[in-house]
């Protein structure tokens, strides 16, 4: 069973709001370090390794990847490839003009339709990916609850960085 109630506000954000809720702040909150070196994990396929390399660099640059998060990122990449395969199968059915179901006989003897397994797989993988994306702040709504320390002179805006370099 999941945790009840709304997700907790990050400690840094609570401190910036002068702890409006007046609840005690966890002073012993773990602060894992960023990985010393990004090594592509073994035991996953080449496509998942490619996704891992791309995402790990982006998450590390955003300050959202720590040493203990690398296994979660690996699982995300594996599920992402599985999701793509299920989606590609459904796109192929669309391209051929075929329905997402098979005609079959029900247990009562009448005709019925059964969805292709890829329809459920795509939905299940989508839900798993969404949950992991929320943990890493990979959606606009998830990022609203995150706070990242910026280096001096860095606004965090890619457009500002481009303007400064030009």
pLDDT tens digit string along 56-104? 998 888 777 888 888 889 999 999 999 999 999 999 999 999 888 888 8
Domain membership of residue 36 (yes or no) is: no
Domain membership of residue 89 (yes or no) is: yes
What is the distance between the terminal CA atoms of the chain, rounded to a whole angstrom?
A: 52
Domain membership of residue 65 (yes or no) is: yes
Percent of all residues in the chain with a pLDDT value above 70, rounded to a whole number = 75
Domain membership of residue 26 (yes or no) is: no
Least confident piece of the model among 45-59, 72-86, 131-145: 131-145
> Is the confidence at residue 148, as pLDDT, over 70?
no
**From CA 136, how far away is CA 149, in angstroms rounded?**
15
Q: H or E element: which one contains 126?
A: helix 117-136
pLDDT at 54: 93
Domain membership of residue 129 (yes or no) is: yes
pLDDT at 68: 81
Number of domains the chain is built from: 1
Model confidence pTM above 0.85? no
Domain enclosing residue 85, as ranges: 44-146
Highest mean pLDDT, choosing among 6-10, 25-29, 33-37: 33-37
Domain membership of residue 75 (yes or no) is: yes
pLDDT at 166: 45
Domain membership of residue 51 (yes or no) is: yes
Domain membership of residue 132 (yes or no) is: yes
- For residue 74, the tally of other CB atoms under 10 A from its CB is 20
């Amino acid at each position: 069973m999941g945790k009840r109630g709304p997700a907790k506000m990050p400690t840094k954000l609570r401190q910036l709001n002068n702890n409006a809720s007046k609840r005690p702040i966890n002073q012993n909150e773990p602060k894992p370090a960023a990985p010393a070196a990004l090594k592509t994990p073994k035991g996953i396929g080449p496509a998942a390794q490619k996704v891992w390399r791309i995402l790990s660099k982006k998450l590390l640059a955003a300050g959202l990847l720590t040493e203990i998060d690398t296994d979660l990122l690996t699982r995300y990449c594996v599920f992402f490839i599985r999701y793509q395969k299920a989606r590609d199968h459904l796109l192929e059915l669309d391209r051929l003009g075929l329905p997402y179901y098979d005609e079959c006989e029900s247990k009562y003897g009448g005709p019925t339709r059964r969805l292709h397994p890829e329809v459920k797989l795509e939905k299940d993988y989508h839900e798993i990916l969404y949950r992991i994306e929320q943990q890493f702040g990979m959606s606009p709504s998830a990022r609203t609850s995150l706070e990242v320390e910026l280096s001096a002179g860095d606004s965090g805006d890619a457009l500002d960085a481009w303007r400064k370099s030009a």
